[in-house]
Amino acid sequence: MLDERDKKWLTYAAKLAIKGRGRVHPNPMVGCVLVKGNRMVGEGWHQEYGSNHAEVVATTNAQADAIGSTAYVTLEPCNHEGKTGPCSEHLIKVGVKKVVFAASDPGVAAAGGAKRLKEAGIEVRGPVDDFSLGEGVDPAFFYSARYERTYLALKLAVSKDDKIAETVGVRTFLTGEQANTEVHRIRSGFDGIVVGANTLRADDPFLTVRELPYEPRLPPARIVISSDGDLCIQSNLFGSIGRSPVLVIAGETTSASSINRLRSAGAIVEVVKCVGKRVDLVESLQVMWEKGLKSVMCEGGAELAQAFCALDLAQRLYLFRTGRILGPKAVPVFSKGSLPWNSNLWEQRGNEVNFGEDVLTIYDRER
């Protein structure tokens, strides 16, 4: 069990880690705090892909105070010469006395830091049995490394009574400005944003990352799942094709002329098999993995989200709930099956957070 003190500092390190969102992936977000007695003497996080790791930033920040301190890190210090030197050797060199880390490094090359530190006589604790302090800080990194599959998150916005629209096919704006900005921040941490063809038709979204004080290092690719490839190319998505790639995953019945039309408009098109009339979602995720997309977020529609849940392919849910009640005649978010937030297969991660009138709750699929 973690004692309160260790928990407090690891919680703080986890907060620091997510400041790297949008700038470090496919590397993990990592935070590090150096503590002496009850005093924090240094802090840092991995800020930029290819640049210093969290431990190096924190020890540089602490300067001579690093000597004899305890390092709290959300990830096991790396033990390899990558784009930077091994953090294990660095912590030994600067004289850290003890290391507490939350999650083991799943990478074959980078692993082994804990062992190396122990060999050098440093007291080491970790991994700790608390998902939210370690793997939960950057679940996509651990999931994709462990399973070699694309990590899929869902974003849904619902009314207080779990409805998504007043009437079928008509977009109902549910969330306010602050929640929408938060969606852009969440988007910035993913390799891709997925929507179904109906959502593209109904909402005409850009699916780009905007309205943030930083630009994502790699703007997420935009992925449309369409059974027949019949997409409007006079849309905001195709109009902004220079901003980030568009990948269309089209069902096997898509005609050659539709494929050519989409390719001429600048899209990458991949054809997958269908299950009934619907695109095979397992194969769709495989295509995303082969394209190098380690993490994607599906933003609509609810039908696609439901299909992903029915196949148990989703790992995380970002649920925005508004204060509005749409009433019994409105469209329910899922037509059948248990809602993830009412099912014991899903676990709430952290506390609810308010964005203006709206509330964000994160749920993780328990594995």
Residues contributing to the site for ligand AOF (CB under 6 A): 27-28, 30, 46, 53-55, 75, 77-78, 82-84, 87, 105, 107, 110
Phi, psi of 99 (to 5 degrees): -130, 130
Cβ at position 30, least distance to ligand AOF in Å: 3
Which entry of ligand AOF, Zn ion, none binds 75, CB below 5 to 8 A by partner kind?
A: ligand AOF
Instruction: Determine what percent of the chain falls in helix, strand and coil, rounding each to the nearest 5.
Output: 30, 25, 45
Cβ at position 91, least distance to ligand AOF in Å: 9
For ligand AOF, the closer of residues 77 and 134 by Cβ is: 77
Cis status of the peptide bond prior to 127, with omega within 30 of 0: yes
Which entry of Zn ion, ligand AOF, none binds 107, CB below 5 to 8 A by partner kind?
A: ligand AOF
Select from 53, 316, 324, 365 the one that contacts Zn ion (CB under 5 A): 53
Q: Are 42 and 65 in contact (CB under 8 A)?
A: yes
For ligand AOF, the closer of residues 107 and 301 by Cβ is: 107
87 binds Zn ion, rule: CB under 5 A: yes
Q: Are 193 and 296 in contact (CB under 8 A)?
A: yes
Distance CA 65, CA 119 (A): 23
Which entry of ligand AOF, Zn ion, none binds 82, CB below 5 to 8 A by partner kind?
A: ligand AOF
For ligand AOF, the closer of residues 51 and 181 by Cβ is: 51
Rg (CA), the chain: 22
In which residue are the tokens 């090359």 written?
109
Distances (CA, A) of 131 to 136, 139, 142: 5, 9, 11
For Zn ion, the closer of residues 60 and 235 by Cβ is: 60
| Number of residues that this document lists for the chain | 367
Select from 24, 35, 78, 165 the one that contacts Zn ion (CB under 5 A): 78
297 binds Zn ion, rule: CB under 5 A: no
Which is the catalytic residue, given 55, 76, 182, 299?
Answer: 55
Task: List own/partner pairs for 259-266 with CB under 8 A and 24 or more apart.
Answer: 259/229, 261/233, 262/229, 262/231, 262/233, 265/233, 265/238, 265/241, 266/238, 266/241
Spatial CB neighbours of 324, under 8 Å, sequence gap ≥ 6: 159, 160, 174
* Residues 200-222 as b or e (16 or more Cβ within 10 Å = b): bbbbebbbbbeeeeeebeebbbb
Find the Cα–Cα–Cα–Cα dihedral 349, 352, 353, 357, rounded to 10°.
Answer: 140
For ligand AOF, the closer of residues 77 and 229 by Cβ is: 77
Cβ at position 2, least distance to ligand AOF in Å: 20
96 binds Zn ion, rule: CB under 5 A: no
Among 87-95, 145-153, 214-222, 280-288, the segment contacting Zn ion (CB under 5 A): 87-95
46 binds Zn ion, rule: CB under 5 A: no
Cβ at position 293, least distance to ligand AOF in Å: 17
First to last CA, the chain: 21
Q: Are 100 and 73 in contact (CB under 8 A)?
A: yes
**Which residue in the shown chain puts its C-beta closest to ligand AOF?**
82
Which entry of Zn ion, ligand AOF, none binds 46, CB below 5 to 8 A by partner kind?
A: ligand AOF
For ligand AOF, the closer of residues 10 and 314 by Cβ is: 10
Cβ at position 149, least distance to Zn ion in Å: 25
Residues 185-244 close enough to bind Zn ion by CB under 5 A = none
For ligand AOF, the closer of residues 41 and 78 by Cβ is: 78
Give strand pairing partners of 194.
223, 298
**Catalytic-residue membership of 55:** yes
Cβ at position 114, least distance to Zn ion in Å: 12
Q: Which helix (H) or strand (E) segment is 34 a member of?
A: strand 31-36
Which entry of ligand AOF, Zn ion, none binds 235, CB below 5 to 8 A by partner kind?
A: none
Catalytic positions = 55
Residue ranges binding Zn ion (CB under 5 A):
53, 78, 87
